A and B are shown apart, each in its own frame.
Chain A
């Protein structure tokens, strides 16, 4: 399942449930449709509600990463579970997107809190195997 939030500079896709081959296409179509409406500089895939992901999710991330490259946008992955982080690590997908853990933990997918910058320093820190 997916819930999209469009803001002037960014698009956030709150994903939930299980991401496998069966469900990936629906997510892909919904995200791409929203991206092509506004070409946001930042696209965030928020995994907080995702209970399972296999390499079909990696295909989803790789495809979106390619789409973002076409127009120079940035892809971010927020709140992946431990299982998802493991799949990301094995696939090297952690090089395709900025990964942030514990972004607004335990909050329903609603108001955005301004994100602290700078980005580059944080990038290293957040993709820690034992972040929690």
Chain B
């Protein structure tokens, strides 16, 4: 994989870091001069993935770390990986079912993966119970901005 640029950052799985995480990814993506809509898509997808780790991964245990890796790949592709070392997901298909949530009492809509899928070009979820979950997303940004 020919990585043109890369950002790696880790932070504790605390809800006050949700805003920081999505803003950080967008700031990194800004070097490709994305459209307002593309930036909003990235911001939303990252927010969903990070929120999943914060809400579910370390439930009932000490909040561990979330590691976010962002890469610029050729052809204006943004690669985003969000990984935790939490409880993992036993049934990924069920977790990805729209409107399914393991925490409905907290008013989780069960739409996190649906939003990630809709707002990016590809989504991969790998998980192992008690080892953690890694979400990988790719999004190809459209045309080169005028003047380049």
Interface residues of A (CB under 8 A from B): 18, 20-22, 24, 28, 52, 54-56, 58-60, 62-63, 82-83, 86-87, 90-91
Proximity string of chain B (35-52) to chain A, C-beta cutoff 8 Å, 1 when within and 0 when not: 001001001100110010
Given contacts A18-B19, A20-B18, A22-B19, contact A59 B109 (CB under 8 A): yes
Q: A21-B51, A90-B111 are in contact. List 19 more A-B contacts (CB 8 A).
A: A20-B47, A21-B18, A21-B54, A21-B55, A22-B18, A22-B19, A24-B107, A52-B40, A54-B48, A55-B114, A56-B51, A59-B107, A59-B108, A59-B109, A82-B40, A86-B119, A90-B118, A91-B109, A91-B111
Give the A-B contact count at a CB cut-off of 8 A: 66
Q: Number of B residues contacting the other chain (C-beta, 8 Å)?
A: 24
Determine whether the beta carbon of B37 is less than 8 Å from that of A82: yes
The complex places the Cα of A75 from the Cα of B115 at a distance, in Å, of 23
- In the complex, the chain A residue whose C-beta lies closest to that of B47 is A54
Determine whether the beta carbon of B48 is less than 8 Å from that of A55: yes
Interface of B is mostly: helix
- In the complex, the chain B residue whose C-beta lies closest to that of A89 is B118
Determine whether the beta carbon of B40 is less than 8 Å from that of A83: yes
CB distance from A43 to the nearest CB of B (A): 16
Determine whether the beta carbon of A55 is less than 8 Å from that of B112: yes
Given contacts A21-B51, A60-B107, contact A55 B15 (CB under 8 A): no
- In the complex, the chain B residue whose C-beta lies closest to that of A54 is B47
CB distance from A76 to the nearest CB of B (A): 19
CB distance from A72 to the nearest CB of B (A): 21
CB distance from B55 to the nearest CB of A (A): 6
Contacts of A60 in B (CB 8 A): 107
Determine whether the beta carbon of B107 is less than 8 Å from that of A63: yes
Interface residues of B in 34-78 (CB under 8 A from A): 37, 40, 43-44, 47-48, 51, 54-55
CB distance from B26 to the nearest CB of A (A): 10
Determine whether the beta carbon of A58 is less than 8 Å from that of B55: no
The complex places the Cα of A88 from the Cα of B137 at a distance, in Å, of 21
Determine whether the beta carbon of B51 is less than 8 Å from that of A62: no
Q: Does B91 touch A at the CB level, under 8 Å?
A: no
- The contact of B109 among A28, A55, A82, A86, by CB within 8 Å, is A55
Determine whether the beta carbon of B15 is less than 8 Å from that of A90: no
CB distance from B3 to the nearest CB of A (A): 27
Proximity string of chain B (85-107) to chain A, C-beta cutoff 8 Å, 1 when within and 0 when not: 00000000000000000000011
CB distance from A66 to the nearest CB of B (A): 9
- The contact of B44 among A24, A59, A87, by CB within 8 Å, is A87
